[in-house]
Structure 1
Amino acid sequence: MKKNNRLVLLVEIALMAAVGVILDLLSLRLWPNGGSISLAMVPIFLIAFRRGAGPGLITGLLVGVLQPLLIAPFYVHPIQFILDYPAAFMLVGLAGLFHVSVNTNKRKRLTMIAVGCVVGSLFRLVSHFISGVIWFGDMAPEGTPVALYSFLYNASYLLPTAVVSIIVLGLLSNTAPKMVHYE
């Protein structure tokens, strides 16, 4: 990769990470123990679809590292912190495994966006799920299996977040495909 191209990539990663953190600050925080409906994953998905999984992973990692600096993070153990912040957002970048060219037909582009967003969101869910099972099982209502509680709690905000992300990225892909897909 030429030096200019690397610089452009680094700037794109930095900008998308900053936008992700800002969008997270504007999120809908209704859950008592963390989690929110947010557009914070959209910039991570954007860079992942535009540049691939590597830049997507880096952007997600940056969002996951910067986000707790601006909000009061909820954590009880260093490994739980890593699972719920840096690792969870970094895994969203795996959506980049499904990036396609701007020249790909519209239907395939939209399908790959949906699949990539689902995969990235599922990997983030797995990270939060593991954290919930290990460290937050005592919050499960009596008689509720800890794994079920962790899954339902985390899916309750990640599912709507994934759906909103798919809609936003689908609209962007249709109106500004070069913003979402590589040439």
Structure 2
Amino acid sequence: MDNKKIKILVEGGICLGFAIVLGLFNLFTMPQGGSISLAALPIIVFAMRNGWKSGVFVGLVYGILQLIIGPIYSVHPISIVFDYLLVGAVLGLIINDTSNFKFITRFITVFIVRFFSYVLSGVVVFASYAGDQNPIIYSLVYNSYALVEMAIILAVILILKSFSPIFKK
């Protein structure tokens, strides 16, 4: 294994560790799962520094680690895929771009995919929590916390991007 691959592997492990630790400190936690935290930040930084292939892999590993370590609200296969694996892997698609417009567009697109992944899981797996309400509307409202998380993380990354050399390899 060459030095570059070893550096990427080590950086990925460090970012996974930071993500797990940041995931322990939630700004807000929903009653049936989901929270607002900065846990996605190290995964996104890793993807921005190392490209989408490495980013998707580390994001997928992060999703698996969340499933193993964190509280589990459902073991339904759809929940596992859409609440853990997909939302982790898709973070790796946020890659660095010299144009802030392109970066922000990509960032928002990825977080919208994450949001609808949560919504789909909510409609299929957690519909019983909606009671007599429409499960789609219930899931859209319940999972809207993910949009707040998106705005917070985007603000942090834009600040880091403008002041920190961390995004230059």
Q: Same fold (TM over 0.5)?
A: yes
Q: Distance in 1 between matches of 2:80 and 2:18?
A: 22
Aligned equivalent of 2:101: 111
After superposition, residues 115-126 of structure 1 pair within 5 angstroms as 115-126=105-116
1:113·1:166 contact (CA, 8 Å) conserved in 2?
Answer: no
Q: Structure 2 CA distance, aligned partners of 1:47 and 1:124? A: 18
**Which residue of the partner structure matches residue 13 of structure 2?**
14
Q: Does 1:167 align with 2:166?
A: no
* Structure 1: segments with no counterpart, 5+ residues: none
* Contact in 2 for aligned 1:169/1:180 (Cα 8 Å): no
Distance in 1, Cα, partners of 2:92 & 2:114: 10
Please state if 1:146 is matched with 2:145.
no
Partner Cα distance (1:129, 1:175) in 2 = 35
Identity between Structure 1 and Structure 2 (%): 30
Would you say the 8 A contact 2:107–2:154 is kept in 1? Answer: yes
CA distance in 2 between counterparts of 1:119 and 1:93 reads 12
Corresponding residue for 1:180? Answer: 167
TM-score (norm 2): 0.90
Return 5+ residue gaps in structure 2 as ranges. Answer: none
CA, structure 1 residues 141+28, in 2 after alignment: closer, same or farther (shift >3 Å)? farther
Instruction: Report matched runs for 1:67-78 at 5 Å.
Output: 67-78=66-77
Which of the numbers 136, 158, 162 marks the counterpart of 2:126?
A: 136
Runs of 4+ in 1 over 4 A off after TM superposition: none
Q: What residue number does 1:43 align with?
A: 42
RMSD value over aligned CA atoms? 1.8
Q: Is the CA contact 1:56–1:93 (under 8 Å) kept in the aligned structure 2?
A: yes
Q: Is the 8 A contact 2:115 2:147 kept in 1?
A: no
1:57–1:90 Cα contact (<8 Å) kept: yes
